[in-house]
Amino acid sequence: MMSATASNIPTTVTIGWALPSDLEALERVAALDSKKLPAGPLLVAAVDGQIWAAVATLDDTAVADPFVPSGDLVGLLRTRARQLRATQPQTPVLRLEPLIARLR
């Protein structure tokens, strides 16, 4: 949760959509956070070109690097994800994980 008095957000943060080329960095952040990488489209927060946090736009599931001040970045990403959900029509998203599991 973001503090009302102070923020740990660095002065230069880039927020954007995760790209396929970000997969290795996202898996690293998820491993550091001892979590699975969230499914679906991800928003990421990067500082100096390094991904510090990511949030799934479908359900606000987050992963963040616990060794940097990433908590406020998760809050920022969740706020942006809510804004995007409010302006986008609700369309079903096909999740491939259950289908792939059945095919194995």
Check pLDDT > 60 for residue 96: no
Contacts of 60 (CB under 8 A, 6+ apart): 78, 81, 82
Domain contains 41: yes
The tokens describing 54, both together, are 């990511």
Question: With bands split at pLDDT 50, 70 and 90, how would you rate the model's confidence at 101?
Answer: low
Contact 98, 89 (CB under 8 A): no
Determine the structural domain holding residue 96 and report its residue range. 14-103
**Tell me, what's the pLDDT at 3?**
47
In this predicted model, what pLDDT tens digit does every residue of 16-47 receive, in sequence order? 999 999 999 999 999 999 999 998 899 999 99
In this predicted model, what pLDDT tens digit does every residue of 44-72 receive, in sequence order? 999 999 999 999 998 999 999 999 999 89
Check pLDDT > 70 for residue 78: yes
Rounded to whole angstroms, the Cα distance separating 58 from 77 reads: 12
Number of domains in the chain: 1
**What DSSP assignment string belongs to 18-39?**
--GGGHHHHHHHHHHTTSPPPS
pTM comes to: 0.75
Domain contains 61: yes
Domain contains 67: yes
